[in-house]
A and B are shown apart, each in its own frame.
Chain A
C-alpha cells in the first residue's frame, strides 16, 4: 500500500475529486495548507503599498491506495490539477505499513 500526497491549487480540488471518483477511489483527506515552492510566494498590493505573500494557500490531498493503483491515481491527479501554470503543485508517494478501519478492525487493503 502507498500513501499518495498531492499539493494542488485550492480551486482544483473539486475537479481532482471528481476525476478520482471516476477511477474508483473511495476516500480522500483534504486539508487547507500554506507553503512555497519554486514559485516563491507572490506580490500583492494594499492601500498603495506592495507586500509579499511568502506562503501561498494550497490544498493537500492524502489518499491511501493499493500499490497497483498508484500510477492510475497519480496520472489522474496530474491530469485534473494541471493548469500549465507555475504553482500547480506536486505529488509524492510514500510506503504505508498498514491501514486499520476503526469501526470493524479490518486491516491492510481491506481497510482502504
Chain B
C-alpha cells in the first residue's frame, strides 16, 4: 500500500512538470493519467481535512463541558478515532464496500487487496478511498462522545467506539454507498456526503446513549432543566471554525474526483453553514433575549449537517433555505430535548440527528433534478423519507441494544462520587488542567 502512495506522490510531481510544460514530459503522461493523479491527490487532501474535523469535535465538546472532565473528552475523541481506524480497517470497510448482499458486504476483510483490486474504486486507489472513508466513520463515531459527556465510563465508550465503526455504521454505508438496498430503490435514496449516513447515525446513537445514561447530576432541579455552562467558549468556537474548514473536505471531497463540481459543492456548503449560524443567532436571541454564542456555533454546524446530503443536488438558494431552516430547527430541538429530560451537553442529537434527517428529506424537495419543488414529483421525497426512517429505526435498535448490554455488563455510567469529582482524575489518573488551575475551578 505504501508503494502505491509513493507512486501517487511521484505522479503529482510529474503532473506539476506537465503543467510547467516541457513537451517531452507530456508524451510520457496521458491526460487520463493526470486526471487519476489529480483525483487521488484531491480526495487524499479532502480526507485529511475530514480527519482535522476530529480536532474540531474535540474542541467543541470540551469547550461546552466542565474543566473537570476536559481530559476525558479529549481522550474519548482521540480513542474513537484511533480505535475507529483499526476497527474500520479490519472489519467495517469490508462490510461497507465489499461485495455481498443488499444488507452487508461479506468480503475484503483487513483491506484485502485481492478483493479491492485496481479499478475497484474507479480512479481512486485503495489507500485514498480507505483513508477518506475511515475519516467519515470516525466522524459518525465521535458525534456521540459530546452527548454522553461528563458521566460515561471510559472503557464502555471504548467498546462502543469499536462496535459502531466495525459493524453498525458500515452497514448503513453499505445500504447507501456500497450498493445495498437503499441504493437499489426505484428512485435511489440520495445522500451525497452523509447527512443521514454519517451525521444522523451519530446523532441517533447519541440520543440512545444520552437516554440510557440519564442526565448529569444537577442538570434537573425539581424536574426543570438548568444550564450547566461549558468551561471554554473560545475552545467551542475555534472548534466550530475547524469543523467548518473540515467540511470543505467532507462535502466537496465526496465528489470523489477533482472536477468542476467540487467548487460548486464548496459554495453550497459555505452558504448553508453561514445561513445556519445567522438563523440560529436570531432564533435564540428572540427566544432568550441574548445572541447566545454556543447556540450560534450549533447553528453553523446544523446548517453544515443539513446541506451535507444535498450539497451537490441543490442550488445556492436551496442551500440558503436548508441552512437557515436548520439553524432555526436546531435551537427549537435543543430546547425541546432539554425539556423532555434527555441531557445532551453539546446539542449533538439536535445538530447531527435532527438536522441530518431534515437535510436529507429536503433533497426530495429542493434537488434541482428530481425535487418536488422543481417539478420532479414525489418519488425522490418518498425515497428520502424511507432512508431517514430506516436508518433511524436501525440505529435506535442496534445502539440501544449495545448501550443496554454495556450497562448490564461492564456498566455505562461512573459512580456519583466520581461524576462530582470529575472524570479526569478518577478515569485517567490526572486532571486535564494542572492542580493549580483545577483548584479554583471546582467551586
Near B by CB (< 8 A), chain A positions 47-72 give 47-52, 55
Identify which of A34, A48, A55 contacts B295 (C-beta below 8 A): A48
B229: chain A residues at CB < 8 Å are 44, 46, 51
B47: chain A residues at CB < 8 Å are none
A52: chain B residues at CB < 8 Å are 226
The residue of chain A having its C-beta at the shortest distance from the C-beta of B64 within the complex is A47
Asked whether any CB of chain B lies closer than 8 Å to the CB of A85, the reply is: no
Does the CB pair A47–B294 fall under 8 Å? yes
What separation, in Å, do the CA atoms of A32 and B440 have in the docked complex? 9
What separation, in Å, do the CA atoms of A34 and B442 have in the docked complex? 12
Stretch at the interface among B28-36, B189-197, B265-273, B331-339: B331-339
Does the CB pair A50–B227 fall under 8 Å? yes
Asked whether any CB of chain B lies closer than 8 Å to the CB of A38, the reply is: no
Whole-angstrom distance from the CB of B93 to the nearest CB of chain A?
37
Does the CB pair A48–B284 fall under 8 Å? yes
Tell me the count of chain B residues lying within 8 A, CB to CB, of chain A.
22
Does the CB pair A47–B440 fall under 8 Å? no
Whole-angstrom distance from the CB of A32 to the nearest CB of chain B?
7
Specify the main secondary structure of chain A where it touches its partner: strand
B287: chain A residues at CB < 8 Å are 48
Asked whether any CB of chain B lies closer than 8 Å to the CB of A103, the reply is: no
Does the CB pair B440–A46 fall under 8 Å? no
Does the CB pair A46–B289 fall under 8 Å? no
Asked whether any CB of chain B lies closer than 8 Å to the CB of A11, the reply is: no
What separation, in Å, do the CA atoms of A5 and B185 have in the docked complex? 77
Does the CB pair B226–A45 fall under 8 Å? no
Near A by CB (< 8 A), chain B positions 269-323 give 284, 287-290, 292, 294-295, 298
Asked whether any CB of chain A lies closer than 8 Å to the CB of B443, the reply is: yes
Does the CB pair B443–A46 fall under 8 Å? no
- Contacts A32-B440, A45-B288, A45-B290 given; indicate if A51 touches B334 (C-beta within 8 A): no
The 6 closest A-B pairs by CB, nearest first: A46-B227, A51-B227, A49-B227, A46-B229, A48-B288, A45-B290
Between-chain CB contacts (< 8 Å), 13 pairs: A32-B440, A34-B443, A45-B288, A45-B289, A45-B292, A46-B230, A46-B292, A46-B294, A47-B298, A48-B287, A48-B331, A49-B335, A51-B228
A interface residues (Cβ-Cβ under 8 A, vs B) = 32, 34, 44-52, 55
